[in-house]
Amino acid sequence: MNSKDDRILFSPKTGKDRFSLSFSLSEEEKKLFPLLVSLEDFSLRGRVLSSKDTYALTLSCKGRAKRKDSHDFSLVTIPFADEIELTLSPDKEISDIERDKEGNYDLRGSILTLLRNAIPKNYSKTRLTKIVHKDYVLISEEEYEKEKHSSGNSPFADLDLLREEKK
């Protein structure tokens, strides 16, 4: 084991059916969330149901993510909440996480998965119309539809117009 142990261990032996977890992103993990600035009012909770030596563990998170807007990079704060369910068992065939030698489960990977699902990868409050760069042009769906119908190059332009009229 390395000198810095960043595992988040869960032991079914504690007997607790509800618990809170402390968690912070490592420098390496922050790279998974490139536009994230900070987590505010972040809480992480676990709930356990057991049946002999098999456990159903529900991890839930909620809070607010302060992040950069995906379009103009201004700071925005968005609420998030999500949960995942895991099966924990000594039987490797049905367990979502493998136990260590002491019978503990490392929840860190599952917590990262939970956060990646909860915090939107692309989020913007800025209405996007058109951004032109050297190598590409980024346009909104609305702008794309306008351009698609204004150019007479599409062999399907008439069909597209008929389809939209029926809407």
Q: Is 105 in contact with 88 (CB distance < 8 Å)?
A: yes
Every domain of the chain and the residues it spans: 9-118, 130-166
46: nearest Cα among 9, 18, 8, 87: 18
CA distance 80 to 90: 33
CA distance 27 to 57: 27
pLDDT at 72: 83
pLDDT at 167: 63
Is the entire prediction scored with pTM above 0.85? no
pLDDT at 55: 92
CA distance 17 to 147: 57
pLDDT at 65: 96
pLDDT digit string, tens, across residues 106-146? 999 999 999 999 999 888 887 766 777 888 877 777 777 77
Residues of the chain with pLDDT below 50 are 1-3
Structure tokens at 138: 């980024």
